[in-house]
Amino acid sequence: MNVRLKKIDNDVNGNPRYLVHYLDIAGNYDDALKLAKKQLQARAYRGKAYGGCFVFTSYNPEHEFEQAFNKPAETIWLPF
């Protein structure tokens, strides 16, 4: 099963941003946060709309996620 990456609004510089849920990375939030920070340079998403997600910037998010975690990924345009 592919990991779902949610496209959100671009950052202030116009770079595309994506969300990934912590359960798609690891079994608990703390381990997932450490891995996301190290592998994707991601941050915890602070918005209310998507709890438990990490946000990262990428022009090719599927490839970056697959290289970092060896899991297939796909970008979705619908809410989780």
Burial bucket for residue 19 (CB in 10 Å: 0-12, 13-18, 19+): buried
**Domains in the chain: boundaries:** 3-76
- The reported pLDDT for the residue numbered 79 is 57
In the chain (80 residues long), the average pLDDT of successive 10-residue segments reads 85 94 93 94 91 93 90 75
The predicted model scores a pTM of 0.86
Domain 3-76 part of CATH 3.30.780? yes
- The reported pLDDT for the residue numbered 28 is 94
Which residues have CB under 8 Å from 77's CB, separation 6+? 7
Helix (H, G, I), strand (E, B) or coil at 2: coil
- The reported pLDDT for the residue numbered 49 is 86
- The reported pLDDT for the residue numbered 78 is 59
